Amino acid sequence: MSAMHARDDVFAAGEPGLAYHAPRDLEEALALLARYGEEAKVLAGGQSLLVFLSQGLIAPAALIGLRRVPGLDGIEERDGGLTIGAMTTQHALESDPTLRTRYPALAEAAQAIATPQVRQRGTLGGNLCHANPTGDPPAALIALGASIEIVNGDGARRVPVQEFFRDYMEPALQPDELLTAVHLPPPVGSAYLKHRIRGVDNAIVGVAAAIALAPDGTCSEARIGLSGAATTPLRAVAAEAVIRGKPLSDDTIQPAAEAAAQECDPLDDTEASADYRREMVAVFVRRALARAAERARQGDTE
Amino acid sequence: MAAPVDRVWTFLMDVPEMAGCIPGASDVRQLDATTYEAEVKAKIGPVSAAFGCTIAIVALDEAARAGVVEVRGKDAKIGGGVNARMSMELREDGGTTTVHVGSDIDVLGKIGQYGHGMIAKRAEAMLDDFAACVRARLES
């Protein structure tokens, strides 16, 4: 028996009252979800779920591990964009050459997560379903205009990523649904910047920006994703509107940064006050826009 | 709220009635003249807590329409609890009543570690819901 299988058995043996299932395909996984409803938790890399479980914050009746379900892993070029499987690890994202050159915001967000050990295990889908408002990939995916593929027994649907975050740590998923993939549209200039005290911390504030330039150098499209700026990951639509269609300079970037600080509504907690977070949103929106614009100019997207 | 002060006071002093407006509250029982028990359920993200609460009226000034309530709630499953001291004063102004509420809330144990920023935000939202419910009951 491989080490992986031995690990699977630990849950079944170690937690009384907690069943562990390792379905072999998507159909089986969905059938289990339908059977357990809200009593089951889906286990991807386990880097958030197992912490909640071991602290006793949650007590599901069953874990449904996705490790043996084929087809949920990997990065694939499709329709000029990318499709990323839900079980793709953060490490795979941060080290993928295509992502690093064409979608640097996502590679940088993956690289900003916790520790190398966590990134080896932690997955993109798991991170998104945890829906932590201070997570890193959500902001990057919002800026990159990603959509989320969700399946249940009846079929698949796609939602824009910002609609996936319903409330604090609450994804827009029904109990019988599974996040299977993330779709990225064709690339533009992008960047993710994270403000934190220690390297392993969650973001005090994280900002991802994506910029497309018209031939005359004005900003033809802009998207900004914020982490640590509300009870959910947030799209800074007011800030985007400030720079869309305008030339990119300090004169337009600064007002956009201020608009982002206005439209966010950060939490006040032991990591940082709401006021401090708001100030940092302005600072990091300014820096992220400047970096994304620079990359758009360099054609770093090719 | 657009209701006379006597009506608001009577409602708030009728603990089982009033508890119907507390989001997630159920099973209210009176223990003695000034003490009650209730269960209050709350869910934030994936974490659900069920607090067994003791509610004690520790000060009551019928004439001034003012009172102080202490709530001690414990969640046995997760480990942790909530202690709250809430003061309340009603003022009447031409047939409408203003309810002044002061609260001092401690979140204890593991539940507190989960994220006090979000818990504070949810507590505010629960108080807003409570106020809206009381208004809906009395402003008719």
If you measure CA to CA, which chain A residue comes closest to B117? A269
Average pLDDT over residues A81-96: 98
Name which of B48, B121, B122 to mutate to probe chain A: the one with the most chain A Cβ atoms within 10 A of its Cβ. B121
Name which of A57, A205, A268 to mutate to probe chain B: the one with the most chain B Cβ atoms within 10 A of its Cβ. A57
- Is A15 strand, coil or helix? coil
Say which residue, A122 or B122, is predicted with more confidence: A122
Q: What confidence tens digit (pLDDT) does each residue in B41-65 have?
A: 999 999 999 999 999 999 999 999 9
Residue at a domain's end among A47, A65, A83: A65
- At A74, the amino acid letter reads G
Question: Is residue A271 assigned to a domain?
Answer: yes
pLDDT of residue A1: 35
Pick from A170, A269, A270: CB nearest B45:
A170
- Is A47 strand, coil or helix? coil
Contact criterion met (CB below 8 Å) for A209 and A224: yes
pLDDT of residue A14: 52
Domain encompassing residue A20: 3-65
Number of domains in chain A: 3
Beta-bridged to residue B44, according to DSSP, are B47
Name which of A168, A170, A202, A204 to mutate to probe chain B: the one with the most chain B Cβ atoms within 10 A of its Cβ. A168
Q: Are residues A85 and A143 in the same domain?
A: yes
Residues of B with CB under 8 A from a CB of A: 44-47, 77-79, 110, 114-118, 120-121
* Nearest CA distance, B29 vs chain A (angstrom): 28
User: Mean pLDDT over all residues of chain A?
Assistant: 93
Say yes or no: ipTM exceeds 0.90.
no
pLDDT of residue A11: 52
Average pLDDT over residues A263-269: 94
Could you give phi then psi for residue A132, rounded to 5 degrees? Answer: -75, 125
Cα–Cα distance measured from residue A70 to residue A76, given in angstroms and rounded to the nearest whole number:
15
* Nearest CA distance, A231 vs chain B (angstrom): 7
Task: Count CB-CB contacts under 10 A for residue A238.
Answer: 15
Pick from B78, B115, B117: CB nearest A56:
B78
Q: Band of the pLDDT at A2, cuts 50, 70, 90? A: very low
Reported for B68-74, long-range contacts at CB under 8 A and 24+ positions apart, including other chains, are B73/B40
* pLDDT value at A55 more than 90: no
Q: Band of the pLDDT at B76, cuts 50, 70, 90? A: confident
Domain of residue A216, CATH code = 3.30.390.50
Domain of residue A48, CATH code = 3.30.43.10
* Nearest CA distance, A247 vs chain B (angstrom): 39
Question: Which domains, and CATH codes, for chain B?
Answer: 5-138 (3.30.530.20)
Contact A269 B117 (CB under 8 A): yes
Q: Are residues A173 and A197 in the same domain?
A: no
* Nearest CA distance, B116 vs chain A (angstrom): 6
- Judged by a CB distance cut-off of 8 A, whether residue A77 touches chain B is no
- Judged by a CB distance cut-off of 8 A, whether residue A52 touches chain B is yes
- Which chain B residues touch A131 with a CB distance below 8 Å? 45
* Nearest CA distance, B117 vs chain A (angstrom): 4
Q: Are residues A82 and A161 in the same domain?
A: yes
Q: Are residues A96 and A163 in the same domain?
A: yes
Contact B45 A56 (CB under 8 A): no
If you measure CA to CA, which chain A residue comes closest to B116? A269
- Closest to B54 in 3D by CA, of B68, B72, B69, B42: B72
Q: Are residues A213 and A250 in the same domain?
A: yes
Contact B110 A56 (CB under 8 A): yes
Q: Are residues A150 and A235 in the same domain?
A: no
Q: What is the dihedral of CA B82, A171, A225, B123, to 10 degrees?
A: -20
If you measure CA to CA, which chain B residue comes closest to A166? B45
Q: What confidence tens digit (pLDDT) does each residue in B106-124 have?
A: 988 888 877 778 888 888 8
Residue at a domain's end among A168, A184, A200: A184
Contact B45 A267 (CB under 8 A): no
Residue at a domain's end among A162, A184, A206: A184
Contact criterion met (CB below 8 Å) for A206 and A192: yes
- Judged by a CB distance cut-off of 8 A, whether residue A169 touches chain B is yes
